[in-house]
Structure 1
Amino acid sequence: MRVLLATRNAGKIEELRQILAEAAPSVELVGLDAVPEYPETPETELTFAGNALLKARDGVKHTGLATVADDSGLAVDALNGMPGVLSARWAGSKKDDAANNALLLDQLADLDESRRAAKFVCAAAIVYPDGRELVVHGEMPGRVGREPKGANGFGYDPLFTPDGFDRTSAELSAAEKNAISHRGKAFRELASKI
């Protein structure tokens, strides 16, 4: 079965390929760079699930392939769940990991460790050409550190330490992260239903 993963994020494509290769080995996963380019709908929904469905529906409409999409981000308790669906654009419209991390650190600078709880959240959707849709969710609880650490991962990974670990997500191996990540949980559940 050939499935489109509606993203151009190389880190996300690799991460999700690994997860789906284990959970659904019969699925051939391709990214947006492997299909003819089409106009992508902006992520305008107020929920992770809404944005994931927008992207998955677009993929089916333009390629005819069953399409998987996710929307994920960091929800910080002290910021009332923000940056949330705005995680990739937290410091402005340009998706700039370094700027997003710097802004988050600035916003949390005065908070002690007890007030730095956060979680990564993921909604993953699949939309089939026949109109069937499925959305699943995954979460990875933890806390936001005071400085970036590690070179693996992307986004807020260098700042985020998952519960039960003394290393950031960016210091974990791909296998360690995939085993506990919000995206890993959501995509393993989704893969089991494809």
Structure 2
Amino acid sequence: MVKKLVVASNNHNKIREIKQIFSKYPIEILSMKEVGVNIDIEEDGVTFSENAYKKAETVYRILEQKAMVLADDSGLMVKGLNGEPGVHSARFAGEHGNDKKNNEKLLKLLKNKDRESRKAKFLCTIVLIEDLNKVIRVQGEVEGLICEEERGSNKFGYDPLFYVPEYNMTFGEMPAELKNSISHRAKALEKLKREMKKYIEREI
């Protein structure tokens, strides 16, 4: 039996990544829009985990517990900016989801900063609610550096600025398959799959 899993998001890039990573599992991945949930959930938590749980629980209750719900909160933490933008990554420049302005602000704040200050990591926390008595929390991260200019054709978020030394390229330059295998979200989802393995096998 195919299980339904609703992602508490309408972000096409995020949902595409999750679908690719879960492609071998008997799980139907649906966005909020696809299940008729049309709300904005205020992300007012002080941690990624708080924000992810709030989104998952809100959608789970709206759906009257008829599907598993997954939510994530992720962001960029830069050493030279004391961990900023952190939970404010999507609205770093003041306008939610404006990647161009967010990247411009980040570059401006790091102008003339040394390599140590440009050290950064992407962090992703995922919360999956199977039922209100079973909540799974996992976290993944990937370390890198912030470039002095955008690189690559993938303009999603901070990807064109996030340089991974061991691959000598930014997330923005990486093929989707490579990024999805090493990203913070991929690492969190791998942990999630291990947590869910027995549950999935029991239900199918």
Q: TM-score range by the shorter chain?
A: over 0.9
Partner of 1:13: 15
What does residue range 96-135 of structure 1 map to in structure 2 within 5 Å? 96-135=98-137
Q: Letter of the aligned partner of 1:60 in structure 2?
A: Y
Greater relative contact order, per chain length (Cα 8 Å cut-off, separation 6+): 1
Q: Which has the larger radius of gyration?
A: 2
Query: 1: CA distance between counterparts of 2:37 and 2:28?
Result: 19
- Call closer, same or farther: CA 1:67–1:135 in 2, change over 3 Å: same
TM-score, scaled to structure 1: 0.94
Q: Letter of the aligned partner of 1:175 in structure 2?
A: E
Query: 1: CA distance between counterparts of 2:52 and 2:158?
Result: 19
Q: Residue 41 of structure 1: CA displacement? A: 2.4
Q: Residue 134 of structure 1: CA displacement? A: 1.1
Partner deviation per Cα, 1:75-118 (whole Å, 9 max, x = no partner): 00001110000000000033200000000000000202232100
How much identity, in percent, do the aligned residues show? 38
Judge conservation of contact 2:37–2:59 (CA < 8 Å) in 1: no
Partner of 2:174: 172
Kindly indicate whether residue 172 of structure 2 is the aligned counterpart of residue 193 of structure 1: no
Q: Residue 130 of structure 1: CA displacement? A: 4.1
Query: 1: CA distance between counterparts of 2:51 and 2:108?
Result: 27
Query: 2: CA distance between counterparts of 1:110 and 1:130?
Result: 49
The SS at the match of 2:95 is coil
Q: Residue 149 of structure 1: CA displacement? A: 0.9
Give the RMSD, CA atoms, in angstroms.
1.3
The SS at the match of 1:115 is coil
Judge conservation of contact 1:48–1:123 (CA < 8 Å) in 2: yes
Q: Residue 59 of structure 1: CA displacement? A: 1.5
- Call closer, same or farther: CA 1:191–1:153 in 2, change over 3 Å: farther
What does residue range 15-34 of structure 1 map to in structure 2 within 5 Å? 15-22=17-24, 25-34=25-34
Partner of 1:156: 158
Q: Residue 131 of structure 1: CA displacement? A: 3.3
The SS at the match of 1:56 is helix
Unmatched 5+ stretches in structure 2 = 197-204
Q: Residue 16 of structure 1: CA displacement? A: 1.2
Partner of 1:44: 44
Unmatched 5+ stretches in structure 1 = none
Q: Residue 34 of structure 1: CA displacement? A: 0.6
- Call closer, same or farther: CA 1:139–1:7 in 2, change over 3 Å: same
